Amino acid sequence: ITGGCGSIGSEIIIQLLKIGLNKLIIYDNNELGMFNIINKIKTNYRNLFSEIKFILGDVRDDKKMNNIFKNTKIDIVYHVAAYKHVPMLEDNILEGIKINIVGTKNIADTALKFNIEKFIFVSTDKAVNPTNIMGCTKRISELYIDMLNKHKKTKFITTRFGNVLGSNGSVIPTFINRINDSLDLKVTHKDITRYFMTIPEAAQLVIKASDIGSYSDILLFDMGKPVKIIDLAKKLISIYSTYKISINIIGLRPGEKLYEELLCKSELCIPTSDKNIMKSKHIENYLNESFIETYKKIINLEEIDNVLYIKELFKIIVPEYSYS
């Protein structure tokens, strides 16, 4: 599990331990997060602790990844590690490319090299018709791992879902912290909406997706109805505050959408054996020579002199990408 110390990665670990599966490799570059997950597992699952490996490392370190796969029998990879904050990646495009695109490529290529049975890529609804760097980097990686399915060795499966309640840096903890500090809440637009699900729900569905998914599947989770962020802010104020807290409308941030979607313009939705999981079906094929040529240019970038040039490269690969 890459990104095993994050909100989703750590919950996937807990869900796997609950069913008695303890032959796990937890991979993350977050030292404090790794310390915390080690202590949590020692406390709650001591009897399963002995065969778990905890490895500090960067997803861009392909040599290290190669050694891990070479020296360990791995059946399934859950690739969760990513940069996910939209405004931050608008200002740090190269880092988004390095982690979300190059990091994914390194791990996916290694999984294919060692004939891993299944590779589960945790994507995001922000990859759908993206308007920001974060979503577009995830969409590019969706397309790349789909291309690897042509080898018919490893089953590369993508899972796509929206915001997760209570995850690190997400809106609810941010709002609660501001309420506790007696600060006004900031909402970017009065009509902005988002899909939400709990961390355990998301992790359970990712694990289910690894059971039912096959080659080239993009699996979408039933997120229920979208929630207006301003209504969420009002509800939290009523729960956590006994005094007046205002809500300030500050305007959409760079790359931010009013609403999120689960299907790209080039996709159709079909049911699966699980009522909470749907499957996306491509109606267009973007995986051509132009994709490969442009993809190579992107992963070989060492610096950014022209942001518009990078965005134009992104749009060649992801035609539905729109940017300002």
Residue 153: burial class (beta carbons within 10 Å; 0-12, 13-18, 19+): middle
In sequence order, the 6+-apart residues with CB closer than 8 A to the CB of 225 are none
Answer yes or no: are the C-beta atoms of 149 and 118 closer than 8 Å. no
Catalytic residue among 118, 126, 257, 279: 126
Name, in order, each residue with C-beta under 8 angstroms of 269's C-beta and a sequence gap of 6 or more: 220, 262, 263, 278, 279, 280, 281
Find all residues with CB under 8 Å of 63, minimum gap 6, and list them: none
Q: How far apart are CA 125 and CA 128, in angstroms?
A: 6
**Cα 313 from chain centroid?**
22
Is there a catalytic annotation at residue 138? no
User: Which sequence positions are flagged as catalytic?
Assistant: 126
